[in-house]
Structure formats: C-alpha cells, structure tokens
Chains A and B, each alone.
Chain A
Amino acid sequence: MRNTFNLLVITSTLLSAAPLLAHHSTAMFDEKQTVTMTGTIKEFQYTNPHSWLIVDVTAADGTVSTWGFEAEGPTTLMRSGIRKSTLPIGSKITVTANPMKDGRPAAAMIEATLGDGTKINPRLGLVPR
C-alpha cells in the first residue's frame, strides 16, 4: 500500500553517490533501490547523530502519508550548505532516497530539490575541505 504513494521514479540502478554515513549499520536501507517523491515539509529534525526530514507525501488518490528521510547530522549538513532554515516547514520538496527494505515509510536521503529549484546534497560535507 505504501508503494501507491506519489512515487515519481523507482529504479534499481545503483547511484554513484556515497551511501549514507551513519553511526549505525545502514543495511536496513536498500541501496540498490531509489525512490523519488514530492511532498510538503512537515518538520526538519536537525539533530545529532542524524537529522530527519519529515515530509507529507500526497498520493494520486489524495491520501497523505508521512515519510521520514534520514540524513547526516547538523555539522555535515552545515558543511553541505544545509542549515536548519534551508528547509522550512510548509515548503515543497522532491526527495530522492534509498527506501527501507521492510516497506516502512522511511528512506536514506541522497539528494533533494526545493520548490524554487535549489538542489541539496547532504553528503557533500563528508569530504574535508
């Protein structure tokens, strides 16, 4: 049922992007799958060790499901140019992510595009510079 939501693209291609860097194993995410979905930001939990972007995704039939996208923690996000204020509540966003293998509505964020076309990549900050 969760797969009926507003999934714009599901591919089995491997992305060239680095996997989520986490303090925990990331094996619960399917790194061979990506999902891309558009929704409205409900909350941006800017917390250590990981941030979570909570997005209300509206399906074609009008039903709304809340998804959580795990991303790096505040200091890596800061180095990626993503501040807490970058993702305000109520903003439109399209997120590409590796989904959970167990089908729960959560995923590891790879990249996102804001309503104004701004692209963000939470993993940019992992490279020392």
Chain B
Amino acid sequence: MINTMTRIFHSSSALALLVLLTGYQTANAQLPAADADRLAMIELGKQHTTAEALYAYLKTQTNSGAALTYDTLPDWSGIYSVGFTAAGLPFDYTQGATDLPSAKLLPEYYEKMVARIEARNKGIEFDPLGKCEPPGAPRGISEPFLREYAVTPNQTWLMNEVAAENRRIYTDGREHLPAEDRFATFDGDSIGFWSNGALVIHTNQLREGMYQRGQPDYSAQIELVEIMRKTDDNTLVSQVWAYDPVTLTEAWYTVKTYNKLTDPEKLLRVHYWYCFDNQNNDVQEQDDGSTQFTDFEFDN
C-alpha cells in the first residue's frame, strides 16, 4: 500500500514537474509581438550586443521554434508592396518628413550621411541602383514595387521585383558558413526558424551599401535579425534589427509593413528588371557626383 502510494506520489510529482516544465515552455515560447512597443524593441536590441546574440536569445525564448511541414505552412501567397511614409522610403518608419534618420551613427558615418543629404538637396546624387545594382539587404526591405514569398519547410524565398532580387532563408537547421569561409554578397547568408507562424532570420555575409537614398551607409560587418509574420490576411509585418559595429553605436530597429495588393483580374506579375533593356533608361554618374541620362534614342 505504501509502495503504491509512493509510486502515485512520485508519478504525480513527475506529472506536476512535467506540467510545470511544459507550462514554462509554453509561456516562454514567445516572440515579441509584431506591434510591440518600439522603444521596448530598441531596448531589446541594446540588450544584445550582436545580431548573433539577439538571434540566439529569440531561439531560446521559442525553444528553437517548431519545424514547418507542408501541412503547417503559413499562407504568404499573393503580391505585396511596402507603403510610403512621410519621409519617403526611410529605413526607420517613424522618420518624419524633415527629420534626419534616427540611426545612432559613429561620427564618421554621421558626417558622411549629412554630407550626402546636403548634396542630395542640391541635386547631386548617384544611386548604384540606377545601373541595376541589386539593393541587397538591408536596403531591399525598404524598396517599393512588388514582392512575393515562397514558403517551404526547409527554405523561404523573399522575392523582390527591384533588380529581380531573391533572398533565400534556410530553415532546415543548417548553420552559417564558418567565419573563415564567409564572403560578402548583396543578400548575405540567411538562416532562420519558425515559431507560431513567425519566421525569425539571422543574416550575415553582407556587402557594404546604403540603407536608401538620403540614408546612412552600412558596412560589410552589418548583420540583421528579422521577425516576419502575417498579422492578418492582407498584411505581412517585419521587425528588423540592424547591427553594424563599424557604423552604429547600437542596433537600429524598424518595422516594415507589406500590404497584399488587390489583383482581381490577376494581371500583376513580378517581371525581371534589366536597366539596359531600354537605351532610354541608361544613366551615368557625372564628374560632380550627379546623375544624367546618356543619349536618348528618340532625341532628334
């Protein structure tokens, strides 16, 4: 009888412990909400000194997430586009029309940004995109025009009409290349995991670039953490933390909202971009840093 009671007690204790652990895991298996307070998310970025550390933290918080299967794929179908803000297409969606970008920049890069903006205001500006150079990441997340997403259990593709760009996010459990084998590319190397319909991404191996025209530069040491998810049938939201020890004193946080476009006649297609399909689209950087068309084919 005592042995029976003891077994029951032990079984109950084990069950309670299991419930406790399960409950703990359930309560802990959370990501920041898509509409989480911006200042709290900035603080979260500051609490982790590297993108790798923030990604590892999110992974811990979600118990490494749960692998997708073809039965549990979220529906990210359709064509999406990002909207404009008062400042146009800034990295930080809260930037006002006359504000400077909110990035906490080191002095050298702050001065470079201010000089870029002053030159831009005088009409002196050349954008490598003008030659169809890919925007890459993180710039690409702010680009307008069309986007599509292909979600599979082991990879998710983020396709951008601009320069026919395609970011592949590997969710099959692989790690990044070893540090000694990494090389910079426009879209870098992205790994991720899923948790409750949200895709958490860590990206490294990026090239240097600029966040957007009138925005700061980033270095080849930039790394990103992103959390992407649908918030309703027609809205896809991405929270982004950019870490760049060369240019930033702390992570730069933003939220991008991509709206699903209505296309009842199914006319929209994501077409390939090639700047030289049409001679009239060819632009060149001038000696003073400005942009000018080359010869028009209709000029007579």
Contacts and interface: CB of A to CB of B under 8 A. Distances in A.
Interface of A: 18, 21-25, 27-28, 42-43, 45, 47-50, 52, 54, 65-68, 70, 73-76, 78-79, 83, 100, 102, 104-106, 126-129
Q: Which of A23, A52, A67 has the most chain B CB atoms closer than 10 A to its own CB?
A: A23
Contact of A27 (B80, B123, B259, B271): B123
A75 B147 CA distance: 11
A56 B55 CA distance: 58
A128 B261 CA distance: 6
Contacts of B162: 23, 49
Interface in B256-300: 258-259, 261-262, 267-275, 277-278, 280-281, 283, 290-293, 296, 298-300
B273 A49 contact: yes
Contacts of A73: 145, 271, 273
Contact of A24 (B81, B130, B146, B278): B130
Q: Which of B145, B162, B268 has the most chain A CB atoms closer than 10 A to its own CB?
A: B145
Contacts of A49: 132, 162, 273, 275, 281
Contact of B296 (A76, A83, A104): A104
B144 interface: yes
Contacts of A74: 271
Given A24-B127, A75-B268, A78-B267, 7 more contacts: A24-B283, A42-B298, A43-B298, A48-B272, A52-B281, A104-B299, A126-B84
A100 B295 CA distance: 13
Interface of B: 80-84, 120, 123-127, 129-130, 132, 144-146, 161-162, 213, 258-259, 261-262, 267-275, 277-278, 280-281, 283, 290-293, 296, 298-300
A86 B83 CA distance: 26
Contacts of B270: 75
B144 A21 contact: yes
Contacts of A50: 278, 280-281
A67 B280 CA distance: 12
B246 to A, nearest CB: 26
A85 to B, nearest CB: 12
Contacts of B291: 24-25, 27-28
Contacts, number: 114
Given A27-B124, A79-B268, A105-B299, A48 B274 contact: yes
Given A45-B278, A52-B280, A129 B273 contact: no
A120 to B, nearest CB: 16
Contact of A52 (B261, B272, B278): B278
B56 to A, nearest CB: 34
A71 B81 CA distance: 19
A89 B81 CA distance: 31
B167 to A, nearest CB: 18
A47 B277 contact: yes
A83 B269 CA distance: 13
Contacts of A65: 300
Contacts of B293: 28, 100, 104, 106
A28 B80 CA distance: 30
Contacts of A52: 278, 280-281, 298
Contact of A70 (B82, B126, B280): B280
Contact of A129 (B125, B262, B281): B262
Nearest to B281: A50
B145 A75 contact: yes
Contacts of B273: 23, 48-49, 73
